[in-house]
Amino acid sequence: MPNVEDYVDHIEGLLQQARPTMGNASMVKVDKEEILNSLTMIKETLPIELKNARETLRRSEEIIAIGQREAQKILQDAQTRAAQMTSEHAITEAAKDRAREIEQETKLKVSNMINEARKEAGDIRNAAERYRGTEIQRTAEFIDGIIAGAGNNLDAIREAAARQQDALDSFERIWQEKKAKVSKLQGMSSDND
């Protein structure tokens, strides 16, 4: 399916192929219907790209849930190991103390990781909302500008497409960072076993 940049390229092609109007070489005649159709497709494609960003956010929330389950398993394993130690009093007390330390350290690490993941998820959500609001407004203003003077706005069309691509790249980068953190968390879980 074509993306916003494809439609922008199509409009650019129409403008480059357009013939100048008589008496003014900077003004060109274009097929208004074809440009309006392309602009409509840009408006329809933006929500799809935003939906993809929301899906990335949903996946990051699933990663947080997996991290919480792993943390619970680590805590249960630590408690089980402490219970299986010998009944000799000194060893048992030392084991209990160590289990409490491990539990507190693990809770702290997991809490920090969950808080960080939640903050990043919130940042992603806020960025997506800001992006949606500002980009829709910018796109509407941009479209008005294209209709008023299509030949003078090619650079603005490219910039809008680049901003969208940058935002999608940023979402993908954040997603990859979250995957790495979950892998690290799972590695910690394996080390504690």
The count of residues in the chain is 193
Burial (CB count <10 Å: 0-12, 13-18, 19+), residue 51: exposed
pLDDT tens figures, 137-192:
776 676 676 566 655 556 766 787 788 888 888 888 888 988 888 888 887 777 76
Distances (CA, A) of 88 to 44, 84, 85, 91: 71, 12, 9, 6
pLDDT of residue 22: 81
pLDDT of residue 184: 82
pLDDT level of residue 33 (50, 70, 90 thresholds): very high
CA–CA distance, 82 with 75 (Å, rounded to integer): 11
Does pLDDT of 106 surpass 60?
Answer: yes
Q: Pick from 144, 161, 157, 141: which is nearest to 14 by CA?
A: 157
What percentage of the chain reaches a pLDDT higher than 90? 5
pTM of this structure: 0.29
pLDDT, average across residues 116-144: 73
pLDDT, average across residues 2-31: 84
- The overall average pLDDT reported for the chain is 80
pLDDT tens figures, 57-94:
889 999 999 999 998 999 898 888 867 765 567 777 88
Contact (Cβ atoms closer than 8 angstroms) between residue 66 and residue 182 = yes
Higher pLDDT, 11 or 137: 11
- What is the tally of structural domains in the chain? 1
User: In which domain, by residue range, is 135 found?
Assistant: 4-192
Contacts of residue 19, defined as CB under 8 A and 6 or more positions apart, other chains included, come to 28, 29
pLDDT level of residue 47 (50, 70, 90 thresholds): confident
CA–CA distance, 112 with 104 (Å, rounded to integer): 12
